[in-house]
Amino acid sequence: MARVILILGGGIAAYRALDLARQLRHEGMEVVPVMTEAAKQFVTPLSLEVLCGAPVHDELFRPGQESEIGHIALARSADLVLVCPATANLMARMAQGMADDLATTLLLATAAPILLAPAMNPHMWSHPATQANLALLEQRGVRCVGPAHGAVACGETGMGRLAELDEILAAVRSTLSGGTGLRGCRIIVTAGPTVEPIDPVRFISNHSSGLQGYAIAGALAARGADVRLVSGPVFLPTPPSVQRINVRTAEEMKAACLAQLPADAAICVAAVSDWRPETVSSRKMKKTAEAPPVLSLRENPDILATLSHVAKRPALVVGFAAETDDLQSHAEQKRRRKGCDWLLANDVSRHPFGGQKNQVLFLTENGTESWPEMTKPALAEQLAERVVAFFQKQD
């Protein structure tokens, strides 16, 4: 039974840690609760104790337990330390190596993996000090899940909302598994849109945010894979331990993918423009009173099909398909036509580009599975586990 030490920081999202504790126990984990003084302002120790089935630890020195140096014994006993919510203050104290209460002392003393689930005001999250603290913690091996984009308690909207609980649970499972299931595997991931210029001002593109592809790249890297993220133009940070190659056009994306071969797997998540202008004007096309200009188009390269049939074909090629109707039929036709091993298809009329959630059909030569609606990071974790299982069968 895995022993998870759950540290609650002092933020309004602390109430969600109560349900998280219940779900961790439901999955068979032992949950040891630790509260900061600030956390007690938001939830009661009694509530947490009942849901964890264990007494709350909240004091650095406890008479009767110091013969075994209680906080050190607690730190040594953990298989994982989960901080939820991780506030800006708690992250700053961690980055500085402070040990002025039980939570920070435990975080400094443990040899177990540490997983943070940040939650705070969007301006606090984006502040350079918080981002510098996060970067330093990640350099030291601390893993972070979230935050998500959305409305927060203060009424603002932005990055700072606590990640969905299924996403946190998936990250807990991944961290406890050791994060080495894909060590030695090189995996190409494409993400984001492509941009096809018409003239120096205009272009053909789409609404892809890159969120799903970046989440997949991060989930694979967390399992030890050597991930090469070939990305169209997006406004997203590069996931930890991922090598990012920036491109703009479909031709550039194809060339970048082929340059990363040989690879063990390729996961094509990018929304590649199907067409590009036959010619690109070197000057801005002027609007005139005459008939509008005629735009001649030519077909772009099919990157998924190319990687499925290339001489140095990866052992596993995965594609994504965005459809608006007849999802099952169109997806199966596309999987066969492209020649990929797996295809994940979603209905963008129900889950448009840029959304935080996704629901897909998972198609292989053995049949189709309907995955339930989940956050994009949670879907990334589920797909990453399938990739791990695929390569374990190859060994």
Encode 186-212 in three state secondary structure: EEEEEECECCEECCCCCEECCCCCCHH
Q: Show the tokens assigned to 12.
A: 């309004």
Among residues 84, 144, 154, 340, which one is catalytic? 154
Is residue 342 assigned to a domain? yes
Out of 156, 176, 196, pick the residue that ends a domain.
176
Is 376 found in the same domain as 229? yes
Q: Show the tokens assigned to 54.
A: 């264990």
Residue 203, marked binder = no
Is residue 195 assigned to a domain? yes
Encode the chain in three state secondary structure: CCEEEEEECCCCCHHHHHHHHHHHHHCCCEEEEEECCCHHHCCCHHHHHHHHCCCCECCCCCCCCHHHCHHHHHHHCCCEEEEEEECHHHHHHHHCCCCCCHHHHHHHHCCCCEEEEECCCHHHHHCHHHHHHHHHHHHCCCEECCCEEEECCCCCEEEEECCCHHHHHHHHHHHHCCCCCCCCCEEEEEECECCEECCCCCEECCCCCCHHHHHHHHHHHHCCCEEEEEECCCCCCCCCCEEEEECCCHHHHHHHHHHCCCCCEEEECCECCCEEECCCCCCCCCCCCCCCCCCCEEECCCHHHHHHHCCCCCCEEEEEEEECCCHHHHHHHHHHHHCCCEEEEEECCCCCCCCCEECEEEEECCEEEECCCEEHHHHHHHHHHHHHHHHHHHC
Is 67 found in the same domain as 172? yes
Out of 176, 198, 216, pick the residue that ends a domain.
176
Amino acid identity, position 191 = A
- The model's pLDDT over 19-28, given as tens digits with 9 standing for 90+, comes to 999 999 988 8
Closest CA to 137 of 103, 203, 88, 177: 88
Residue 393, marked binder = no
Asked if residue 70 has pLDDT above 70, the reply is no
Burial classification of residue 316, based on how many CB atoms lie within 10 Å of its CB (0-12 exposed, 13-18 middle, 19 or more buried)? buried
Is residue 252 assigned to a domain? yes
The confidence score (pLDDT) of residue 389 equals 85
Is 379 found in the same domain as 232? yes
Residue 301, marked binder = yes
Cα 124 to the chain's mean position, in Å? 21
Asked if residue 65 has pLDDT above 60, the reply is no
Residue 390, marked binder = no
The confidence score (pLDDT) of residue 126 equals 87
Domain that holds residue 138: 3-176
- The model's pLDDT over 356-365, given as tens digits with 9 standing for 90+, comes to 677 889 999 9
Q: What is the number of domains present in the chain?
A: 2
Asked if residue 90 has pLDDT above 90, the reply is yes
- CA–CA separation, 245 vs 274, rounded Å? 21
Is residue 280 assigned to a domain? no
The confidence score (pLDDT) of residue 137 equals 87
Helix axes 376-394, 211-222, angle to 10 degrees: 40
Residue 61, marked binder = no
Mean of all residue pLDDT scores within the chain = 87
Is 90 found in the same domain as 25? yes
The most distant pair of C-alpha atoms in the chain lies apart, rounded to whole Å, by: 91
Out of 125, 155, 176, pick the residue that ends a domain.
176
Residue 226, marked binder = no
Band the pLDDT of 71: cuts 50, 70, 90. low
Is residue 114 assigned to a domain? yes
Q: Is the pLDDT higher at 309 or at 164?
A: 309
Q: Is 185 a residue of the active site?
A: no
Q: Is the pLDDT higher at 246 or at 80?
A: 246
Q: What is the CA radius of gyration of the chain?
A: 24
Residue 304, marked binder = yes
Using the Cα atoms of residue 153, residue 157, residue 163 and residue 167 in order, give the sign of their dihedral. positive
- CA–CA separation, 171 vs 177, rounded Å? 10
pTM (2 decimals)?
A: 0.65
Residue 245, marked binder = no
Is 190 found in the same domain as 50? no
Band the pLDDT of 199: cuts 50, 70, 90. confident
Give the domain CATH number at 334.
Answer: 3.40.50.10300
Burial 18-32 (b: 16+ CB within 10 A, else e): bebbebbbeeebbbb
Give the domain CATH number at 41.
Answer: 3.40.50.1950
Is 144 found in the same domain as 253? no
- The model's pLDDT over 31-44, given as tens digits with 9 standing for 90+, comes to 999 999 999 999 99
Is 161 found in the same domain as 235? no
Torsion of CA 130, 135, 136, 142, to 10 degrees: 100
Is 168 found in the same domain as 225? no
Is 91 found in the same domain as 28? yes
The confidence score (pLDDT) of residue 67 equals 47
- The model's pLDDT over 223-236, given as tens digits with 9 standing for 90+, comes to 889 999 999 999 88
Asked if residue 69 has pLDDT above 60, the reply is no
Q: Show the tokens assigned to 387.
A: 């990739």
Query: 70-84, 111-125, 135-149, 286-300: which range is least confident on average?
Result: 286-300
- The model's pLDDT over 122-181, given as tens digits with 9 standing for 90+, comes to 989 989 999 889 888 887 888 888 787 777 777 788 888 898 888 788 788 878 876 667
Is 136 found in the same domain as 55? yes
- CA–CA separation, 239 vs 303, rounded Å? 23
Q: Provide the 10 A C-beta neighbour count for residue 236.
A: 15
Is residue 285 assigned to a domain? no
